[in-house]
Amino acid sequence: MDAKSFLDTYGKEEAARVAEAAGTNYAYFNQIIYGHRRPSVELAEKLVDASEGRLDFVLLIKSKLWNQ
């Protein structure tokens, strides 16, 4: 699942919990959600782990920025 779908499905509270468990904050994760930032490989792996596999690694590191 991509980050936007994760937010839409699980809500802001769960997205914030996952972000903090991965070592970042909701504000930065929100930038990833809307394609303004792309996480490092390390952060993407941590986000996948923190979401218990609900987030997809490839979809996290692919971003709207790549399509410009």
- HEC secondary structure over the chain: CCHHHHHHHHHHHHHHHHHHHCCCCHHHHHHHHCCCCCCCHHHHHHHHHHCCCCCCHHHHHCCHHHHC
Record the pTM.
0.90
Residues 55-64: what's their mean pLDDT?
A: 86
Q: Give pLDDT tens digits for 19-54.
A: 999 999 999 999 999 989 999 999 999 999 999 999
Residue 68 has pLDDT above 90, yes or no: no
Q: Which fold has domain 3-63?
A: 434 Repressor (Amino-terminal Domain) (1.10.260)
Residue 62 has pLDDT above 90, yes or no: no
Domain range list for the chain:
3-63
